Amino acid sequence: MQYIISSAGVKVPKIIYGTAWKKERTTELVVKAVQAGFRGIDTACQPKHYSEAGVGKALRILKTQGYKRENLYIQTKFTPLSGQDKNNVPYDKDASLSTQVAESFEVSKRNLQTYYVDSLVLHSPLFPHADLVKVWRAMEFIQKAGGALQLGISNCYDLEVLKRLYEDVEIKPSVVQNRFYKDSDYDVELREWCNAHNIIYQSFWSLTANPNILEDESLISIAKKHNKTQAQIFFAFLIHMGIVPLTGTTSELHMKEDLNAVDTLLEDIEIANISKLLY
């Protein structure tokens, strides 16, 4: 695997396996993903969409096979109450925001059977801004105590929200994880700002939200030239652009193909032609 070194000094794999919506298959698929070559796993303390405990079970199985925890990048999230199933909240929903963050992280550690995570991500911004800062400071406390090596934020599409957070907190975000799609103009301005501030941009729904790009004749032509799939070429393009894509495939073949995208080199003219599809 190849890595990007974050502003916090963390080795972030150039492509990460996402575990949303895997439910009872989570353990099986995480084991297969790591066996295929993935070294980064993304999850969340959000029973509504993730089986975080399933990831932890996979890590225990992988440990018996020689895969050491320190060689894996484990990323989880604190999900605010607005993103939780009200009947299955993994923390006291009536507690203060800082207590909710602390309780959620304790659940994550138990689920994952680890005393630290490589990346703790806020699943979505909170409003008003004061609440966002309260949650972030609780996350900072976790990082300072050694519980998380770096912090990040997800589903943050308003650059002004990100800028204000960056200005008002002590420990700056090392990661922004967003849906990569046309409705946000592919976060062009936000990604430029992240690059200027050494923040790694992670993309999800990179394939699902962009069928028009994957089926474009120019991308199909590039794929045929390289003897790759359209998905491999698009992932290779994203990686070339400094984006860390998530993939949630359940196919072992596609796992290997997606990993192969890391080493797929595209020509400048090919990069330019794919870029035109975004703008």
Evaluated on CA atoms 24, 30, 32, 33, the torsion sign reads: positive
- What is the rounded CA–CA span in Å between residue 262 and residue 265? 8
pLDDT mean across residues, the chain: 98
Q: Give the mean pLDDT of 92-115.
A: 98
Closest CA to 244 of 278, 204, 207: 204
| pLDDT score of 56 more than 80 | yes
Helix locations, the chain, DSSP H: 26-36, 52-64, 97-112, 129-144, 159-168, 188-196, 211-214, 217-226, 230-240, 252-260, 268-276
Q: What is the pLDDT of residue 18?
A: 98
Joined together, the tokens standing for residue 25 give 């298959």
Confidence of residue 279 (pLDDT cuts 50, 70, 90): confident
- Model pLDDT, residue 36: 98
Contacts of 251 (CB under 8 A, 6+ apart): none
The answer to whether residue 60 scores a pLDDT higher than 70 is: yes
Helix (H, G, I), strand (E, B) or coil at 41: strand
Per the CB < 8 A criterion, the answer to whether 77 and 39 are in contact is no
- pLDDT value, residue 191: 98
Rg, C-alpha atoms of the chain: 18
Token output for 184: 């946000």
Task: Give me the pLDDT at residue 69, please.
Answer: 96
Model confidence at 146: pLDDT above 90: yes
- The Cα angle at residue 268 between residues 262 and 273, in degrees rounded to 5: 95
Which residues lie across from 42 on neighbouring strands? 18, 75
| Mean pLDDT to the nearest integer, 47-62 | 98
- Domains, the chain, in order of start with CATH, read 3-207 (3.20.20.100)
Q: Which residues pair with 17 in a beta bridge?
A: 41, 247
- Rounded to an integer, the average pLDDT of 60-74 is 98
How much is the pLDDT for 1? 58
When pLDDT is averaged across residues 4-20 and rounded to a whole number, the result is 98
What does each C-alpha distance from 247 to 125, 165, 203 come to in angstroms? 23, 28, 9
- The tens digit of pLDDT for each residue in 174-225 reads 999 999 999 999 999 999 999 999 999 999 999 999 999 999 999 999 999 9
CB 61 within 8 A of CB 32: no
As a whole number, mean pLDDT of residues 70-87 equals 98
222: CB partners within 8 A, 6+ apart: 233, 266, 270, 273, 274
Strands 243-247 and 16-18: parallel
